[in-house]
Structure 1
Amino acid sequence: MSRIYLLVEGQTEETFVNELLIPHYSRQGIYLTPIIVSTSPGHKGGVVSYAKIKPQINKLCKQDDNAYVTTFFDLYALPGDFPGKNSPNYPHTENGKQKAEFLEAELAKDIGHHNFIPNLIVHEFEALLFVQIEAFEQWTDDDRVLAPLRKVRETTLPEDINDSPHTAPSKRILTAMADYQKTFHGPLIACDIGLDAIRQSCPHFAEWLDKIEAL
């Protein structure tokens, strides 16, 4: 049996873990507990400052030495004080997977606990939804609005969809589907797609699951 605490960015990620990951892994004797990051007293959600996140990671790692701690944060829009973000060695010109791996390695060094598994989603949660654009169809009155999403998916893997303020996965979805609500639609669409399909199209995400399964 393995116990894993997942420090997640917000309600969407918490629901994704509860609805998709927990039922799958509990059958394997792996028990996941999502915890939304705290940003200030009484407020939760969003990685706005690494200085506020680090104590929470350390506390989880120390409070239960027999459990593991991992993160479920977006690579997109990480704060400037995140380990490695302003490093001269940061791979600015490489793909999202390489950027995430660099920052995860820096995060692991900064935290330093043996039971910590760093993880960043490339580039953000909505990238996982690009695995199957068809899953959006039940939420639209006119499927033609999904044409831009289908077009980018024809040539680009979900984790390679870039992270500018205008072309990040969530921005593309909102442009095509103005009534998209992250906390409502996101987890439902992800569940319709299914974990197997997501891991097949998202290699960095799949590697994280492999680490969890190897514990």
Structure 2
Amino acid sequence: MSRRVYLLVEGQTEEAFVNELMVEQYARIGIYLTPIIVSTSPGHKGGVIRYAKVKPQIEKLCKQDAEAYVTTMFDLYALPGDFPGKTDPAYPMRGTGRCKAEFLEVELARDIGHRNFIPNLLVHEFEALLLVQLDAFEQWTDDDRVLEPLRAVRSTTEPEDINEGPMTAPSKRILAVMAGYQKTFHGPLIACDIGLDMMRASCPHFEGWLNNLEALA
């Protein structure tokens, strides 16, 4: 049985990631993926700035094609304060990124309330997937020694455990060593060099989401 899945994503980088790494592979098992960039305001797309702007888009997708599934590809890092569960006293502020994501995903699913909705947050952000294999950055640097700070943190920390501080989130760490990093350009290219298999081997929360999608088949 084939399944249609709409992925509401934060921006062009995630859209390209889905199109280039996932669409063809999942079509082979009868899962047909369509990424859709979230709208933030009339004429503008990208980013989860306010949950109040995002919720109607998720609900509309769930309702317009009841036979399809809807999922999200949003960064846990810097989610807005009105996101379901974010201000809940039970929110695991001191927990791991995975604990935080799982808590918020449950709250998001409860708030949307549609059986065909599969909540998903990236821990802590898209760039964590790129830190899986740092060799993929080498073709974009003149001197590979600039990658040493990233190699140092990866020697002790798994990608999804790299924290979400304003200066230490994965994207901020990449920019600190590679000032020319452009998410929409470098992100999908580096991701393609790494591949889904390596990402899911190092990112258990990400793998769990892929497993949920594959179970639809």
**TM-score normalised by L of structure 1:** 1.00
CA RMSD of aligned residues (A): 0.3
- Letter in structure 2 aligned against 1:2: R
Return the alpha-carbon distance in structure 2 between the equivalents of residues 212 and 204 of structure 1. 13
Question: Is 1:183 paired with 2:190?
Answer: no
- Letter in structure 2 aligned against 1:4: V
Q: Which runs of 5+ in 1 are unaligned?
A: none
Greater shift in the superposed pair: 55-64 or 20-29 = 20-29
2:151 is matched with: 150
Q: Counterpart of 2:36 in 1: which secondary structure?
A: strand
Q: Counterpart of 1:155 in 2: which secondary structure?
A: coil
2:134 is matched with: 133
Return the alpha-carbon distance in structure 2 between the equivalents of residues 189 and 54 of structure 1. 31
- Letter in structure 2 aligned against 1:102: F
Return the alpha-carbon distance in structure 2 between the equivalents of residues 178 and 64 of structure 1. 43
Question: Is 1:86 paired with 2:113?
Answer: no
Q: Counterpart of 2:72 in 1: which secondary structure?
A: strand
1:202 is matched with: 203
1:29 is matched with: 30
Q: CA deviation at 1:82?
A: 0.1
Q: Counterpart of 1:88 in 2: which secondary structure?
A: coil
Return the alpha-carbon distance in structure 2 between the equivalents of residues 82 and 25 of structure 1. 30
Return the alpha-carbon distance in structure 2 between the equivalents of residues 130 and 177 of structure 1. 13
- Letter in structure 2 aligned against 1:168: A
Q: Percent identity?
A: 76
- Map 1:35-54 → 2, pairs under 5 A: 35-54=36-55
Q: Which runs of 5+ in 2 are unaligned?
A: none
Return the alpha-carbon distance in structure 2 between the equivalents of residues 134 and 127 of structure 1. 14
Return the alpha-carbon distance in structure 2 between the equivalents of residues 169 and 163 of structure 1. 7
Question: Is 1:71 paired with 2:96?
Answer: no
Q: CA deviation at 1:27?
A: 1.1
Return the alpha-carbon distance in structure 2 between the equivalents of residues 213 and 13 of structure 1. 19
Moved over 2 A (4+): none
- Letter in structure 1 aligned against 2:93: H
Q: CA deviation at 1:17?
A: 0.3
- Letter in structure 1 aligned against 2:199: I
Q: Counterpart of 1:113 in 2: which secondary structure?
A: coil
- Letter in structure 2 aligned against 1:134: D
Q: CA deviation at 1:160?
A: 0.2
Q: Counterpart of 1:73 in 2: which secondary structure?
A: strand
Return the alpha-carbon distance in structure 1 between the equivalents of residues 90 and 12 of structure 2. 33
**TM-score normalised by L of structure 2:** 0.99
Q: Residues 59-109 of structure 1, C-alpha deviation per residue, up to 9 Å, x if partnerless?
A: 000000000000000000000000000000000011000000000000000
2:172 is matched with: 171
1:104 is matched with: 105
Return the alpha-carbon distance in structure 2 between the equivalents of residues 72 and 170 of structure 1. 16
Q: Residues 147-183 of structure 1, C-alpha deviation per residue, up to 9 Å, x if partnerless?
A: 0000000000000000000000000000000000000
1:4 is matched with: 5
